[in-house]
Amino acid sequence: MATNLETAKPQKFTPLSSFVESSFFTKLSQLKLDEFKLDASKRTLNGFTIHPTKLNKFNDVPLINLDHESFSGTSQDNANVVLEGLIYNVNTIEEFKLIDKQALLREWGEATHASMFENTSLDYRKFNQFYVLSFSDLKKYKFYYWVAYPTFSSKWTATRQNTAKEEYIRLVESHIASEPYTQMLQLIEGELVSNISKKSSHFVFIDTCLSKDKIPGIQLKNYLFFLGHHGFQEVDVLVYRNDGSSFEVHLQVGEPITNNYKVTGWERTGQGKLGPKLADLGLLIDPTQLAEQAVELNLKLMKWRIAPELDLEIIKNQKVLLLGAGTLGSYVARALMGWGVRQITFVDNGRISYSNPVRQPLFSFNDCFSDNGQGQYKAIRAAEALKEIFPGVKARGVNLEVPMIGHSVTDETKDKSNFDTLSSLFDEHDAVFLLMDSRESRWLPTVLGNAKDKIVLNAALGFDSYLVMRHGNQTQKLGCYYCNDVVAPNDSLSDRTLDQMCTVTRPGGALIASSLAVELFVSILQHEDKQNAEHLSKSKFGEVPHQIRGFLNNFQQHKLFAPSYKYCSACSSQVTQKYQEDGWDFVKKCLNDTSYLEEICGLTKVQEEADLASEDLLKDLEIDDEDEEWLS
């Protein structure tokens, strides 16, 4: 039944809305960090709208949906129709605010206009292009965005509305069921075609919304502009809807359509105002996940300008064993976490004392007496503290006394168990930091690291000096901590005064040494030869020195090199071979008697030869009576 309008009225259209899922922003943030970086080029994007046959009463406005698949290509199916678009993700909030939105929309409109007028096809992809202007604040996980749907203005008036004819509805439904999706079709002699001609002024618009006021979706406006440009003065449009509310409207163009067109299309807010939207995902995402992303953000920013070849994954995947959970251990752990290391194990057998918290940042005053009046175990508490700082770290504390050279075995069951545990920990980890407070406690870990070919880094402190070094291995003959010794390490802990029992150092030395040890570790990982890198060879992240020795009294630092010593008590081939053959039995003999170790590695022979050489020199210097008289 026809409804004659009292007066011709400008045709109204239902505006478009966007629905952007949180997965869209998650994917955008990942691409921004790993791929886009500082490149603000406009990039292709796919969205989708609900297929007209799947609309329900809640779909009262046309929708563009965006999710994580929008960046990789959303596949079209029976429920969705794919739309093509672009995203322009700028680098700063200032640029987002100050950019000329109208000029940008005009640019996008010209691109859409060119696409629409390539030919006479009514292909929906040409008429439904969309654009997204955005800025990603990855520190706060906030996303500012504004969707635009370039729409061309033309003055069409509606003179009457008719109830849609049943035969036309059946024709449209038959077409939808058997043909690929098309939004606008021309009706010519009982057939629906997708290329316009002047043979007919009857068209079908397959609406993507079910507005209650029978106002067609905004997409129709671009089709009408296109028809008017091709000379159509009057058209009859069947607006098809799947809920039985289809209708026909007779439209007349009010004025000629020229190339001097006006473009609109910025999406309005929920309050009907022109302006961007804000997606604050920080309020929705698990804080642990936010922390994970924030930590990775700081690291990935390095790759944008400074170090694009930096391999962060190899750092992240390292399993690191820290022998010592005191001052050095605390600072090394914090620096490792800063570099993205996620698996850290502490080994220590000490308890937290009142002097520790001011120098060891993983502990607090309450840790000094919270375990039945005693201080908590350092290794256990250090691991707990790391998880409190960053829940994403896999931290573990092992309360263990490392068997020390020069300290005899008094309880073999216990010492053997400690040895087995330490050996297993070496097998489970990729790198080991020696951070203990005595020289002899580093001997067994040095032997294990060499025998198992692990990355071993050593940090040691004097009062106003520090040493940071990487150990060599059986392939790369760099010296270890003991290669300059002419005797095996021995007991240095017994019979010591108070100042000797405590680590008396300038407080800043530990921070410097810890930082250098971690930075050296990272440089090793970035080198193609890893722990086999030569002294001062270049990695993707700078030099890889053997030793760094620093002196705070004159603020000097030196990079030194020392080859491995043939008779070293810890890394010589003789020691490694004997350990691999006898295991604990060899270690036990060394703990009980350092002279046995000196015999195995060859230091005893070296000492004997040195004594003989000294005696020979003294003989050569003997002076007879006649010479003595001449010299007087």
| Catalytic annotation, residues | 502
Token pair recorded at residue 212: 């209650």
Give the three-state DSSP class for 490.
coil
* Residues β-bridged to residue 87: 43, 132
> What is the end-to-end Cα distance of the chain in Å, rounded?
144
304 near 37, Cβ under 8 Å?
yes
Collapsing DSSP states into helix, strand and coil, what is residue 376? coil
| Cα–Cα distance for residue pair 321/184, rounded to 1 Å | 67
Asked if 332 and 510 count as a contact pair (C-beta separation under 8 A), the reply is no
Residue 455 structure tokens? 């990355």
Integer Cα distance of 432 and 322 in angstroms: 6
Q: Which amino acid is at 244?
A: G
Distances (CA, A) of 93 to 137, 255, 266: 8, 41, 19
* Pair type for strands 184-188 and 156-163: unpaired
Among 446, 451, 424, 426, smallest CA distance to 436 is for 446
Phi, psi values for residue 358, rounded to 5°: -70, -20
Cα(187)–Cα(208) distance, integer angstroms: 19
- CB atoms inside a 10 Å sphere around CB 103: 9
User: 142 near 281, Cβ under 8 Å?
Assistant: yes
CB 455 within 8 A of CB 429: no
Distance, CA of 359 to CA of 465 (rounded, Å): 17
- Per DSSP bridges, beta strands 277-280 and 547-551 are unpaired
| DSSP three-state, residue 20 | strand
Provide the angle, in degrees to the nearest 10, between the axes of the packed helices 101-116 and 219-229.
60
Beta-ladder partners of 82:
48
The 10 Å CB-count burial string (b at 16+, else e) for 433-455 is bbbbbbbbbbbbbbbbbbbbebb
Q: Are 440 and 491 in contact (CB under 8 A)?
A: yes
At 144, give phi and psi (nearest 5°): -100, 130
DSSP category for residue 530: G
